[in-house]
A and B are shown apart, each in its own frame.
Chain A
Amino acid sequence: MAVLLLGEVTNGELNRDATAKAVNAVKALGDVTVLCAGASAKSAAEAASKITGVAKVLVAENALYGHRLAEPTAALIVSLAGDYSHIAAPATTDAKNIMPRVAALLDVMVLSDVSAVIDADTFERPVYAGNAIQTVKSRDAKKVFTIRTASFDAAGEGGAASVSDAAAATDPALSVWVSDEVAASDRPELTSAKRVVSGGRGVGSKESFEIIEKLADKLGAAVGASRAAVDSGYAPNDWQVGQTGKVVAPELYVAVGISGAIQHLAGMKDSKVIVAINKDEEAPIFQIADFGLVGDLFSTVPELTEKL
């Protein structure tokens, strides 16, 4: 058995954390080949080759793969699929866009957000916004799945996999890239950060989200938000933590002004230590928090920032 793992490559760089966690998730299934596709992908491939547990790296460097469009990347994976029993990717937005397309082209089901690999055919995954965990066995000849990276530790450094070129597949030419709107930030990336500070509806406005950001910067943390805060326009969409946003499991998660809707809890309840600051003593977030502080966030959060 052999695994083809789609490495997460953005603008020529490997998202090492997501890719290395995915490597750890699949390494028991067979030799792992990481595919790095992009307009520039050689340095990403180089980085992937050093991840422990990677047997081989394939580079598809072509302008076609520069903007992470689903159709050409899916066509590339399908062109390589013959050699592999398992085709996987970390469950990023790119992979969630691409992998179901790959599965349908291969006439197999996709398994999204796999949180545990039991054996070659059997996997665990959360359903119903994380309120239930399903164990599913696939009858398909090839397994196509995405991996919930928060459920796995990252593979270490020290591999020396061979790197070779993969030929580009025919471009389906169905869509074109227009533009990216990416927020530049010096903060750590949300899904791999060791600390995360998130704000919810209680923060009240986009302007007052600054107090969340100040606490985050003091802690060297990434900033997150609840769906309510994003929907209200207090925070950008890619900060959303929850079942339909990002799933995180940092060492420290600080939830500020977040009541704790099921949807949000599904995205952060695997964090090691959870702190909740909320003025409502009955807020459900306190039922899962290790340390709860009942109080006005507008005075407690600046005080906390000051005292750290």
Chain B
Amino acid sequence: MKVLVPVKRVIDYNVKARVKADGSGVDLANVKMSMNPFDEIAVEEAIRLKEAGKVEEVIAVSIGVKQAQETLRTALAMGADRAILVVAAEDVSTDIEPLAVAKIIAAVAKAEGTELVIAGKQAIDNDMNATGQMVSALLGWGQAAFASKVEIDGGKAKVTREVDGGLQTIEVTLPAVITADLRLNEPRYASLPNIMKAKKKPLDEKTPAEYGVDVSPRLEIVSTREPEGRKAGIKVGSVDELVSKLKEAGVI
């Protein structure tokens, strides 16, 4: 069985996003970019399934700008076998929408004959939390979103999901899409020898047109602004002072 793992190049988790003064978006020029943290977890899970003998091949795919090759090399250094880059944008500030991304992933999954897609649950830039669910809809597959535990056996995936109120365990028939939540695993760091080896692993470049997908946006981003700020209040010197301030504020 082959597993397909979509990875996205996003602003690094530790960098604070800054809104451009003209309201046209978030400043991504000269900002450190990395693999979306949820996608790292997805890559890790796929590699662990391979190590456990449940899957034969791990294919990483990224849809976006040419620079996303770096992100794919990271996935390869972690242990993915090969990578596909679908170049769908020229400008780093162009975010291809989840629906178009999902259509491409679905087409890649069909073309490669994969039976499992493991995606991150959400990209930390657009925070849409949609692509995995959309891929499964487009393929007519089952979905197990927000996974914190995955067991593959006998053509089924038993997945524990993080939901409001606790955890839910479901069983999806393969082929299926799983999306990774934060606590599924702790992604490994790529070792230097593996980073070197990754440079020789195959990385194919494709276009959306080759998969017959139109990536024109459905949404127009009218403007981007900073959220309303919140002023720092006061420091209190003791618990007694805190209690009296809370009483004054009328919240206790």
Contact = CB atoms under 8 A, between A and B. Distances in A.
A134 B182 CA distance: 25
A289 B236 CA distance: 11
A131 B148 contact: no
Contacts of A287: 232
Given A290-B249, A307-B243, A231 B219 contact: no
A289 B233 CA distance: 6
A68 to B, nearest CB: 8
A169 B29 CA distance: 48
B183 interface: yes
A192 to B, nearest CB: 11
Contacts of A102: 137
A263 to B, nearest CB: 9
Interface string B164-196: 111111111100100001110000000000000
A10 B165 CA distance: 10
B152 interface: no
Given A134-B223, A175-B143, A180-B168, A237 B242 contact: no
B111 interface: no
Nearest to B133: A100
A113 B227 CA distance: 15
A99 B55 CA distance: 30
B4 interface: no
Interface of A: 10, 67-71, 74, 92-94, 96-105, 107-113, 122, 125-140, 172, 174-183, 191, 195, 219, 227, 230-231, 236-238, 243-244, 246, 251-252, 262, 269, 272-275, 286-294, 300, 303-304, 307-308
B251 A272 contact: yes
A287 to B, nearest CB: 5
Contact of B169 (A96, A126, A137, A179): A179
Given A100-B130, A126-B227, A175-B143, A182 B165 contact: yes
Contacts of B84: none
Contacts of A100: 98, 128-134, 137
B150 interface: no
B236 A176 contact: no
B24 to A, nearest CB: 11
B219 to A, nearest CB: 5
Nearest to A304: B239
A107 B146 CA distance: 23
B242 A304 contact: yes
Nearest 8 interchain pairs by C-beta: A174-B142, A290-B233, A100-B130, A104-B137, A128-B17, A104-B134, A100-B133, A109-B218
Residue of B16, B17, B163 most packed against chain A (CB within 10 A):
B163
Q: Is the contact region of chain B dominated by helix, strand, or loop, or is it mixed? A: mixed
Contacts of B158: 178
Q: Is the interface of A mostly helix, strand, loop or mixed?
A: mixed
A252 B251 contact: yes
Contact of B124 (A101, A111, A128): A128
Contact of A178 (B130, B171, B173, B221): B171
Contacts of B32: none
B235 A238 contact: no
B130 A112 contact: yes
B166 A133 contact: no
A128 B218 CA distance: 20
B166 A181 contact: yes
Contacts of B136: 101
A246 B163 CA distance: 10
A104 B246 contact: no
Contacts of A172: 140, 142
Interface string B208-252: 000000000111111111110010111110111011011001011
Contact of B251 (A175, A251, A292): A251
Contacts of B165: 10, 182-183, 238
A94 to B, nearest CB: 7
B102 interface: yes
A103 B137 CA distance: 9
B45 interface: no
A231 B184 CA distance: 11
A114 to B, nearest CB: 12
Contacts of A130: 227
Nearest to A96: B129
